[in-house]
Structure 1
Amino acid sequence: MGIGDTGRTEVLHTGARTWIKPDENLWATMASQQGHPQAAAAIVQLFKGHYLTGPADDDLQGAVGMCSLIKGITEEKDDGGGTYAKGSAGTVNGTKSLSIVATGPDGETSTLYVAAEGEPYLLRTEQTQGSEPGQLTFSGFKEPLTVQAPPSDLVIDVSVVTDQLTTA
């Protein structure tokens, strides 16, 4: 998963657990955002090549939110006045698409790009406004996928690190 110019993170998710492995750029960005840019190099060395995980109710598990994105978009619900409008035809990674512009009750808009031929897969979603602009592009539909937990010697439990920091 790429996060703009701030870096990338590998996300692994099984039914019960999520692991993330941020790259060096993302670690440095997170350290700066938390007000500790001088700690970036030490953090990068400490966590380099390792996956982070945490308890099921940990914020880290929120990284899997994108795994539920399609379900959330397709569920019928009363969103308090949001609207959807047919957009224009185009292409996403060489696949013909049709855009759908979703406008929330707060006026923020998101654009969904759906395959215009064959099965109507969600190809991309993007938001250019608001507090969290970004873009997710989907691919590999119907390709077999096996997700396995990373080796235990490469996993760091966030709650253990947090406990150690608060007692230090």
Structure 2
Amino acid sequence: MAGQRTAARAAACAAVVVLTVTTGVTARADDGFESLPAQRIADRSRDALLDARSVRLRAHGDLGKGQEALTADLALDREGNCAGSVRLGGDKGSVKIVKRGGTVWVKPDADFWKNQVPVGGSTFGAILAGRYLKGAASDARLRPVVDACDLNTFRQLVSDNADTAGGTLTKGAVTTVDGVRTVPVTRRAHGQELTAYVDTGGRHHPVRLTVRGDGADAAVDFSGFDRPVPSATPAAKDTVDVSALLGRTPAPS
């Protein structure tokens, strides 16, 4: 379904912000983190993100160029487990997502069906009646959700795009973000300003990433590093099998 691509756009939004700020050749230092050059701070932040076993990301805003604004709140790990939600701007709808092992559940609301699946969406929504759509993670019709809810997919996007960012990278003054002491590093390129706020302590994870300019205004907040993804799954009475709703012919991959 076309609407399922929303989750993938949410992950892509986060990945674009990360990879365009935190690319470069890895360099390490044992102490004096705040005094390191901007590139080394960015490198260590990227490495810490790539090393994480799990993370919670909250993305909001848009990347400009006509893309829809959205809000996403997803906890995801390397095993492909995921839990959270994605909401489009205005009244365009939202979808809850749960993925556990080889099974995925999605729960679009009425506005989502109406706006993202204009042909037949309202009928699908009526049949579901507030229940989750359940399917196998291998089902091509659910592939966008599955890909978005896998930390390995996110990590690969960041890793594959290393060393490709242009522009200049500069370091700002130490500041506090959500109670965390951070050093901001900013990359300016192609009319945009991308900033990573990097935790000065611990593993030096990114705390917040922002992109501004050229019509873009988006941010991604990171938390919950290495914490388990919530394991609760919808009850059988609250689900409808994807094949029962959409038919048994898989969509093209």
Is TM (by shorter chain) over 0.5? Answer: yes
Change (3 A) 1:158 1:133: farther
Which residue number in structure 2 is paired with residue 60 of structure 1? 142
Q: CA deviation at 1:70?
A: 4.8
- Distance in 2 separating the partners of 1:108 and 1:44: 39
Structure with greater contact order relative to length (CA < 8 Å, sep ≥ 6): 2
* Whole-Å separation in 2 of the counterparts to 1:53 and 1:79: 36
> RMSD of the alignment, in Å?
4.1
**Given residue 116 of structure 2, which amino acid in structure 1 is its aligned partner?**
M
2:94 maps to 1:12: no
Counterpart of 2:223 in structure 1 is: 139
State the partner residue of 2:74.
none
TM-score (norm 2): 0.45
Gaps of 5+ in 2: 1-84
Residue 161 of structure 1 aligns to a residue whose secondary structure is helix
Structure 2 equivalent of residue 51 of structure 1:
132
Q: 1:151 to 1:93 in 2, by over 3 A?
A: same
Q: Displacement, 1:30?
A: 1.2
Identity %, equivalent residues: 20
Q: Write the distance in 2 (CA, Å) between the matches of 1:79 and 1:17.
A: 32
Q: Secondary structure of 1:13's match?
A: strand
Aligned-partner Cα distance in 1 for 2:165–2:207: 21
Q: How many residues align?
A: 159
Mapped partners of 1:28, 1:161: distance in 2: 16
Is 1:28 the counterpart of 2:110? The answer is no
Q: Which residue of 1 aligns with 2:244?
A: 160
Deviations 1:32-60 (A, max 9, x none): xx4x3xx5544433223211233314242
Distance in 2 (alpha carbons) for counterparts of 1:133 and 1:74? 20
Higher deviation after alignment, 87-96 or 6-15: 87-96
Unaligned runs of 5+ residues in structure 1 are none
CA drift of 1:91 comes to 5.0
